[in-house]
Amino acid sequence: MVVVCLVLQAYQLVLLAYVVFSWVPRPPEPLQPLVSGIGRLVDPVVEPIRRRMPGVPIGGVRLDLSIIIVFIAVALLQGVLC
């Protein structure tokens, strides 16, 4: 059970890094492999939610709530299992 808790906590950190890197239009070249790896970990989980629930329009941009939903789901899972 401890391993599952650690994996969930690590995934929350990956989600947070995904959000931070999404704010950077073009990350520096040395960070590209890291950003790509984070995307490969997060995108398969987030994409199905994104397809079913488009972003919420706020002014001239759309707020992507799918990452927030995944973050909450991981936190709930942690609450139940850990």
Is 61's pLDDT higher than 90? Answer: no
Give domain limits for the chain. Answer: 2-81
Is 64's pLDDT higher than 90? Answer: no
Cα–Cα dist 65/20, whole Å:
15
Q: What is the pLDDT of residues 24-60, one digit of tens each?
A: 888 899 999 999 999 999 999 999 999 999 888 888 8
Which pLDDT band holds residue 62 (cuts at 50, 70, 90)?
Answer: confident
